[in-house]
Structure formats: C-alpha cells, structure tokens
Chain A
Amino acid sequence: MLEVQNLQYQIGKQAILNDISVQFQPGLCHLIVGPNGSGKSTFIKIVSAEIEAYQGKVLYQGKDAKKITKQNLSQYRAVLSQHTELSFPMRVDEVVMLGRNPHFEIAPSKKDNQIVQDALDLLSLQNLAGRNYQTLSGGEKQRVQYARVLTQIWETPQEELRYLFLDEPLNNLDVYYQQQFLSIAQSFMNDATILIGVVHDINIAIRYAQQLYCFLNGKIVAQGVPETIVQPALLKQVFDIDTSIVNHPQTGKPIIIF
C-alpha cells in the first residue's frame, strides 16, 4: 500500500497541496483528474519521491519514502512524464535499455535484453527498434518512453510492490494510443502493482479508473469509484462547467457531455 499522511507542500508562501491524506491499494488503477494548477502534477512528483521538500509523510509499504535510497527505489518505482527529448542521436532500443540501468552493474544481461525485446513488442515498436529516437514523431517518442519506463519495473520484485506513476502521459497521443496506453497499464496490473496516473481527459479517466480522485486547489475534493462520484454538481465544482451525463451504451459507464 502507498499511504500519504497529512501532506503539505508550498512554494514560497503559496500552498500547492493542502493537508492531503489518502491510501492507494495495489491491484487497482488510480487516476487523478483536476483543473490546471490544482496540484495534481505536484502530487505525483511527491508520491513518486522526486520532490522531497514537503511536510507530512509518504509511506511505501509503511516505509518513509525519504528514507529509501534513490538507487533502491529505482528498482521498483518508475515514472512516465510528459515528453522527453534527446540532444544526441540514440537508437530506440538503446533508449529502452536505459530503463534497465538500475538492474545491472556494467553491461546488460541476457535477461535485460529479453525484457527490452518484450517491451518493444508490447508497445508495437519492433520495426522502430533500430531507428534514431530523434527522428520519431511525438507520439512514437512517447511510446518509446513508455517502453523504457515499463522495462524499469518489468518484473515484480519479491519483497516489494512495484509502483508505476504516469504524469499526464497521454498529451501527445492520438485517441488510439491513449486507449492503448491505459489498456497496457491495465494488463501490467497485478496484486503487487500500484498504478497512479494523472489524466487530462475526464472521459478516459472514468473509463479506465477503478478509483478516481478529483483535485481542486491542492485538495482531494472527491474520491471513489467513478460511477458513484461523477455527478454534474461535482464537475461544476471542480471544472466550473455545466455538463450532462449519459451512460456508455456498451460499458454502462458514465460519459460526460460538455
């Protein structure tokens, strides 16, 4: 379990996150939505142990995240952020292999190579494996980064959970890959995996989230199963828009019409 206790974070005098306490259970897809500036991205940076200057506690299986060494953490915690550019030419499979870096000392093992191949397969990147990363389109780059991030925590560690954080990873993707990204995340899910993601598109979030969190002004104003918490009143409060809600003809899940 990933537990956040009384989390406070401010930049200067401005509070970004305000007394957040929440628990994330393994085996569920936790997605976060909220307007710009609501603190959701900062929240991901804190729970993924990138930012450390916060008050309160972030506990990985009861262990204080600040007390886990970066190196140790990198073996079972991976983060996918918005977009990553390279200044130098590098082959796609080399970029993906960087994700295995926490797991080998000098040279990658056979197993590392196999994992990279599997990840390339999973993201349908096999035919791009030898290409220069710099020449790819924005969406292709994002898929390569996703493959890299997945290779980092490809295997479930024996004594730890594995943690996957997605920080608005869908921004450059067209609809097909937005869906594919989250389906892959779902297929990656097991009882030893905690998945927390920030997603911009509320309808995508409703479709894939098992637990949905709405951020507003540095607080979580609603959390729970999407079907129960998504109501026009909440959307008015969080996003300041008037909406109608209908049900998806196949999945039965709510769809928001703006």
Chain B
Amino acid sequence: MAPKSSLFFIVLTALLIVMLLIAIAFGAVSILPSEMWSALKHGFTGKEPATIYESVFIQLRLPRVLLCAITGAILAVSGVLMQGLFRNPVVEPGLVGTSAGAAFGASIVFSLSPFMSPSFKSVLGPFMVPLFAFVGGLVATYLVYSIAKDKKHISILSLLLVGMAMNAIGLSGVGLMTYIARDPQARSITFWNLGTFSGANWFQVFVTGIMAVVCFWLAQRQAKKLNVLLLGDQEAGHLGVDVKKLKTNILILNTAMVSVATAFVGVIAFMGLIVPHVLRLLIGSDHKKLIPASILMGALLLTIADVGARLLLAPAELPIGIITSIVGAPLYIFLLKKFQLNQTN
C-alpha cells in the first residue's frame, strides 16, 4: 500500500476514535471519561452500575453509538458494492428498493406479531425482524434489478425509475402495516421512514455487528473481482471472472447487511452515496482500499450525523435520516447531473 494511503487510513481511524468518544460523552446528559471507565469496570465484573450516569452510558449511550457506527459502515460499504456492481456512481441501497423492501418486511413483523402463533414466534424469536427484513430487501432488490434489466443491458435510468416505484410500493406497504397496527407498534413503524437510533440496545449491536464483520470480510474477498468488473461484464469475463456468480454474491451480501441494519434503525438515505463518492476522489477506485476506507468513513460520518441529531434540538431529537437527506440529496442531484453529462459526451 502506498505511503499516502496508509497515512489516510491512520488519520481516518484517529478521527473515528475521537468522534466516537465525543458521541459517547455528549447528549441529553454528559458523561465524564472517569464515569465511562468505572461503568465499563462494573459492566465487565457483572456489578450493577453505581450511578445514573453509568447506567445511561452502559444501557443507552454506548449501544447507540456503536449501532450507529456499525450502521454507517454497513451503508457505506453497501454503497461501494452497489456502485461497483452496477458500475454507476448514483446507485445506493435506498434508491434501488433494498431499504424500502426491508422496512416493509420488518413492519409486517411489528404489526402482525400480535396475530402470529406463539410457536412460530418462539422458533424464530428475536431474529424474526432481521429475517423478514432480509427477505423483503432481497425480493425488492431482485425485482428492481430484473425489471430494469433489458436482455443483457441494464440502463441506469430504468433502474432508478423502477427503484422509485419499488420505494413507493415498499413505503405504502409500511403505511398499510401502520394503519392496521395497534398504537405502540405503529409508533415504531413511523420511526423507520426517517431512521432512528433512539431504541438501540445491545442485542441489536451484536446482531448487526456480527453481520457486518462477516459481510465486510466476504466483501473484501470480492474486491479484486470488483476492480475487474469496472471494465464491464464482457471484459471481466475475459479476465476470468465469473460475472454472474459475482453479481449474485454481491447482491445477496449487500441485501443481508442492509436489511439487518434497516430492520433495527430504519431507512437512512444517501449514506451509501456520499461516502463512496468522497472516497473515490481521495483514494481512487481500487476496491481493496475502498471497502476498508468506507467502513471507517461511513462509521465516522453517521456518528457525526447522530451527534447532530441529538444536539441540534436538544433535549428533543431529530430523526437522523433528515440530516443525511439534507446533506445527501443535493449531492445526489449533483452526481446525477454530472453523470448525465459524461454519458452524452
């Protein structure tokens, strides 16, 4: 690795650590480093937290910050994968139906769970939401992909248009579920449309964390093939890449991690768009660097957005999706415009 890019990784890691500490310390209540330390000691030795600050830290703040960072990393890596797969800089999971499909799947569990048989629920247990989200995300993504595909060619315009339609279907599905849901379930569904970390708990951290580690590792193993795919399907085939298999793998991998993240925190748009774009400008298009860098930068940016969400209207809280959309949507329009120009040239 070139010295320039290793320096880049060191700086990015340092920034992330600092930002994580800031995110843990500040919020509706501030937590001192000494309190964090003693809370961690108590946590590991199995004792009860000694003060209210310690329990806020252990039970609320820490899982929230970690879930946020993991989600940010997932969405950023997903953006890199989707863009590499479609060879297009304006693709991200929120735009091709993955997130909406996953939200729909999860909302089914939330609103219909009172009607499901107890034995069915006990088999799947807490994995019901991620599982339904995964199926919903996969079906939606696959449908968008296969409808937009015209013989061999996949046009970006039809991809985005079909994605828009799929988003509308997914979100009206969520709306329907909200309508038939009882009041407490309805509230948790509403949160998704904008994304939230306020309900974060350790279970969610572990599920997304394990999912993220496995998927990142698998994604990194595809990095070299994704580089070759930049040349196009035909050329990648000539260079010995099984393009069909690669695409299927990436699509499943991507859907798995995005769906799980979406199931817990809702739809956070544009993260997968911003991070890869910025990184390509900084370190180029090599996926071997792009994937690890997007893990770090995705975690960093979403943590910043979450601190913003907590502090801007404190003690009230903004849905984080609003912040990412305010920043992401203009960038998206800019990229779309630029891409259009490139294509007509």
Contact = CB atoms under 8 A, between A and B. Distances in A.
Contact of A50 (B224, B238, B241, B339): B238
B33 to A, nearest CB: 40
A148 to B, nearest CB: 8
Interface in A60-115: 70-75, 77-79, 81, 84-91, 94-95, 98-99, 101-102, 106
Contact of A90 (B239, B240, B285): B285
Given A70-B237, A74-B240, A88-B285, A134 B342 contact: yes
B238 A75 contact: no
A8 interface: no
B227 interface: yes
B241 to A, nearest CB: 8
A94 B87 CA distance: 17
Interface string B88-99: 110000000000
Nearest to A70: B240
Given A89-B285, A134-B342, A71 B231 contact: no
A152 interface: yes
Contacts of A99: 239
Contacts of B45: none
A95 B237 CA distance: 16
Interface residues of B, number: 25
B88 A101 contact: no
Interface in B224-277: 224, 227-228, 230-232, 234-235, 237-242
Contact of A88 (B89, B228, B235, B237): B89
Contacts of A81: 234-235
Contacts of A94: 284-286
A102 B235 CA distance: 12
**How big is chain A's contact interface, by range?**
20 to 34
A74 B242 CA distance: 11
A142 interface: no
A71 to B, nearest CB: 4
Contact of B230 (A73, A78, A86): A86
A73 B240 contact: yes
B89 A74 contact: no
A87 B228 contact: no
Given A87-B87, A98-B228, A74 B238 contact: yes
B326 to A, nearest CB: 26
Given A84-B232, A89-B285, A48 B238 contact: yes
B280 interface: yes
A50 B234 contact: yes
A98 B240 contact: no
B167 to A, nearest CB: 23
Contact of A102 (B231, B240, B284): B240
A78 B339 CA distance: 30
Contact of B284 (A50, A72, A89): A89
B279 to A, nearest CB: 11
A102 B240 CA distance: 7
B284 A90 contact: yes
Nearest to A152: B239
A79 B227 CA distance: 18
Interface of B: 83, 87-89, 224, 227-228, 230-232, 234-235, 237-242, 280-281, 284-286, 339, 342
Interface of A: 48, 50, 70-75, 77-79, 81, 84-91, 94-95, 98-99, 101-102, 106, 134, 148, 152
Given A89-B280, A101-B228, 11 more contacts: A50-B234, A50-B237, A75-B240, A77-B238, A87-B87, A87-B88, A87-B230, A87-B339, A88-B280, A95-B231, A106-B224
